[in-house]
Structure 1
Amino acid sequence: MAVEARTDWRDALPAVRGRIGFDATLGRTTWFRVGGAAEVLFRPADAEDLATFLRDVPPELPVTVIGAASNLIIRDGGIPGVVVKLARGFGDVVVEADGVIAGAASLDAAIAEHAASANLTGLEFLSGIPGSLGGAVAMNAGAYGSEIRAVLDWAEIIGRDGTIARYTEADLALSYRHASLPPGGVVVRVRLHARLGDPAAIAATMAKIKTSREATQPVRARTGGSTFRNPEGHKAWQLIDQAGCRGMVVGNAQVSEMHCNFLINRGGATADDLESLGEAVRARVLAETGIALIWEIKRIGIPGRGAP
């Protein structure tokens, strides 16, 4: 179901150098390939363009930011207000002697490759995290023995008032899959520290991560990465398996047979299918184990008919 654009908001939007569209389809931009439309879609040209927009846009207009949409379900009813999608103007990667400065739209895997090409170690784990750097900071993403908080020097964040400031790991209070960003703040640029390492060892680590992912995760399916956080002292996939949910299906959504903390769009699934399946898994795990799984995948927008 599309979201009908509001004429008064069109007239109230500030002038920008980037692109603005209305009733813009979002589903095809997500890794799940599901979801409704954005009432307004803004692709800023660069950080200055975004800062001006946030400063001048009516404060009552909701603003939602998305990046690569790799760990995201956009609900079938779409997203009201403005969706800001960071793209080309936020994709630069600059390698320094002891780290990397990258735009928020830079893919995590690409950052790992840039660091490896300069013989910098410490960022190899990013090659195993789907998505872009802004989202990785916003959720303190991690995998393969490390996480963003272990390598973050600073993140530049534009506030809803258009001001830009740098925040450290301590400022953001990074913890397991959590960051305390300022309200309405948008990550636009990040510095990660690294150190010189042995090229052969760096290549071996990245090769090991790639092999592990391909052997244990449905990387070629329409999926969204890990669905639920690991409860303290437990692995989410083991709890899901223990509850008998491996291969479970709702509509055209399925719990992966390969890794049951992944949901898959088998083709033609809706966001409702995926979210309903996730909630069914949570209910069964709670009944079987007494443990309430917490969503790691972010779900945004207006539910369509039949959503939980």
Structure 2
Amino acid sequence: MSFPDITPALRAAAPDLRGRLLANAEMAPLTWFRVGGPAQALFTPADEADLAHLLSGLPQEIPLTVVGLGSNLIVRDGGIPGLVIRLGGKAFGEITIEPGDRLRAGAAVPDVKLARAAADAALDGLAFYRGIPGCIGGALRMNAGAHGGETTDVLVEARGVRRDGRLVTLSHAEMGFSYRSSGAGTQDIIFTSALFQGRPGDRAAIQAEMDRVTAAREAAQPIRERTGGSTFKNPPGGKAWQLIDAAGCRGLRMGGAQVSEMHCNFLINTGGATAADVEGLGEEVRRRVKAHSGFELQWEIKRIGVV
């Protein structure tokens, strides 16, 4: 399907745009599942000021969606109405080491790149990011974590742009972190960068920890498949993968989508899957787990767009 072209109206409202603005841009190549319909309008800003310029003139009636690396994401087959913003390039992809054992990273920085930069600077405490398949913007929104660490453990502050174009800096307390979520994630803020706190460490020991995380990931997760990372949050008192396995869902298929045989909290696109296949399979897993154990699994993967 295709949407009406709203890019002329967006350019008229923000005439000094410098970034890339596309109508009916395909989203499937930008997601790890490789599924989903187009974005009505896709904007990649040149820098923070360019983003603020567009948002300051954006009509309230136009829906706004932000995507990152597309790792923990299902874009539905009908596509995404309104404006989709995807940060990228040098303006949002840099990491700097700051005084006090701190690192500042752009929102488009892959989590693994932050872990490597910290290791190179002999800063401990951020090696867990090696095991997260996403970027800093997503980590801020969902309090991403793995292997015993979470974003809340290391974040000092986050910077972003509100829907009306105003710049804002949120302290750790203002982020409202909880398990796999952030209170700030419910606000109309597009995160552009974040400041993290490390601690002095031994470079070799930090690298060894990152190697351990890498080995554990490769041994237990289908990282070479078209997948979206962990599908469901671990419920209180349980492990999502164990509940899925106990409900007989390991290897379960729907169309071109399958529950991974290697790690059954991962869904994979075996080839030719639609977004409806992937999401429908996830809902069937939720139904079976509820019927078997009484646990109601909650999606960790974000699902956006229209059916």
Task: Report the TM-score when normalising by structure 2.
Answer: 0.96
- Partners of 2:105 and 2:160 lie apart in 1 by 13
Say if 1:101 and 1:191, in contact at 8 Å, map to a contact too.
yes
Matches within 5 A, 1:1-308: 1-6=1-6, 9-10=9-10, 12-15=12-15, 16-88=17-89, 89-97=91-99, 98-181=101-184, 183-303=187-307
- Offset of residue 183 of structure 1: 2.4
Count of residues in correspondence between the two structures: 303
Say if 1:3 and 1:79, in contact at 8 Å, map to a contact too.
no
- Offset of residue 127 of structure 1: 0.5
Task: State the one-letter code of the partner of 1:39.
Answer: Q
Q: Which runs of 4+ in 1 moved over 2 A?
A: 1-13
Q: Where does residue 306 of structure 1 map in the other structure?
A: none
Q: Please list every run of 5 or more consecutive structure 2 residues that lacks an aligned counterpart in the other structure.
A: none
- SS in structure 2 at match of 1:170: helix
- Offset of residue 57 of structure 1: 1.2
- Partners of 2:134 and 2:284 lie apart in 1 by 26
- SS in structure 1 at match of 2:183: coil
Call closer, same or farther: CA 1:235–1:183 in 2, change over 3 Å: same
Task: State the one-letter code of the partner of 1:76.
Answer: D
Task: State the one-letter code of the partner of 1:251.
Answer: G
- Partners of 2:26 and 2:120 lie apart in 1 by 37
- Offset of residue 7 of structure 1: 7.2
Say if 2:110 and 2:136, in contact at 8 Å, map to a contact too.
yes
- SS in structure 1 at match of 2:174: coil
- Partners of 2:280 and 2:169 lie apart in 1 by 39
- Partners of 1:3 and 1:264 lie apart in 2 by 28
Q: Deviations over 1:110-148 (max 9, x none)?
A: 010011001111000001001100000000000000100
Between the aligned residues of both structures, percent identity stands at 52
The alignment yields a C-alpha RMSD, in angstroms, of: 1.2
- Partners of 2:29 and 2:45 lie apart in 1 by 19
- SS in structure 1 at match of 2:234: coil
- SS in structure 1 at match of 2:290: helix
Task: State the one-letter code of the partner of 2:98.
Answer: E
Call closer, same or farther: CA 1:134–1:283 in 2, change over 3 Å: same
